Structure 1
Amino acid sequence: MRFQDRRHAGRELAARLLEWSAEGALVDPLVLALPRGGVPVAVEVARALGAPLDVLVARKIGVPGHPETGIGAIVGDDPPLFDRRSVEMLGLSEDVLGPDVTRERTELRRREQRYRGDRPAPRVAGRTVIVVDDGLATGVTARAALRHLRRRGPARLVLAVPVGAPESVAALRSEADDVVCPHQPPDFRAVGLWYTDFDQVDDEEVTRALHGHGAGAGRG
Structure 2
Amino acid sequence: MFKDREDAARQLAMLLEKYRDNEDVVVFAIPRGGVVIGRVIADYLNVPLDITVAKKIGAPFNEELAIGAVGPTGNPIIDERTVNILHIDEGYMERAIRKKVDEIRARLEKYRGNAYYRSLLGKKAILVDDGIATGYTVRAAIAFLKDLKAGKIILATPVIAPDTWAELKPQVDEVVYLSSEEPFYAVGQFYEEFGQVTDEEVIKLLNS
- Structure 2 CA distance for aligned equivalents of residues 25 and 55 of structure 1: 19
- Give me the CA root mean square deviation: 2.0
For 2:127, which of 124, 131, 150 is the aligned residue? 131
Q: Work out whether 1:82 is the aligned partner of 2:81.
A: no
Paired AA for residue 150 in structure 1: K
Where does the alignment leave 5 or more consecutive residues of structure 1 unmatched? 213-220
Instruction: Report how far residue 38 of structure 1 moved.
Output: 0.7
Q: Work out whether 1:100 is the aligned partner of 2:99.
A: no
Correspondence for 2:174: 178
Query: Residue 174 of structure 1: SS of its match in structure 2?
Result: helix
Q: Work out whether 1:13 is the aligned partner of 2:31.
A: no
CA displacement 1:131-165 (0-9 Å, x = unmatched): 00111111111111112212322221111111011
CA displacement 1:118-139 (0-9 Å, x = unmatched): 2232441111100001111111
Instruction: Report how far residue 70 of structure 1 moved.
Output: 2.7
Name segments (4+ residues, structure 1) moved above 6 Å. none
Paired AA for residue 17 in structure 1: L
Paired AA for residue 190 in structure 2: W
TM-score where L is the length of structure 2: 0.91
Q: Work out whether 1:192 is the aligned partner of 2:177.
A: no
Paired AA for residue 99 in structure 1: R
- Structure 1 CA distance for aligned equivalents of residues 99 and 155 of structure 2: 27
Correspondence for 1:164: 160
Query: Residue 61 of structure 1: SS of its match in structure 2?
Result: strand
In percent, how many aligned pairs have the same letter? 39
- Greater shift, 88-97 or 104-113, is seen at 88-97
Instruction: Report how far residue 201 of structure 1 moved.
Output: 1.3
Instruction: Report how far residue 25 of structure 1 moved.
Output: 9.2
| Structure with greater helix share of residues | 2
CA spacing shift, 1:171–1:27, aligned 2, 3 Å: farther
Q: Work out whether 1:33 is the aligned partner of 2:29.
A: yes
Paired AA for residue 5 in structure 1: D
Query: Residue 179 of structure 1: SS of its match in structure 2?
Result: strand
Where does the alignment leave 5 or more consecutive residues of structure 2 unmatched? none
Query: Residue 182 of structure 1: SS of its match in structure 2?
Result: strand
Instruction: Report how far residue 196 of structure 1 moved.
Output: 1.9
Contact 2:120 2:149 (C-alpha < 8 Å) held by counterparts: yes
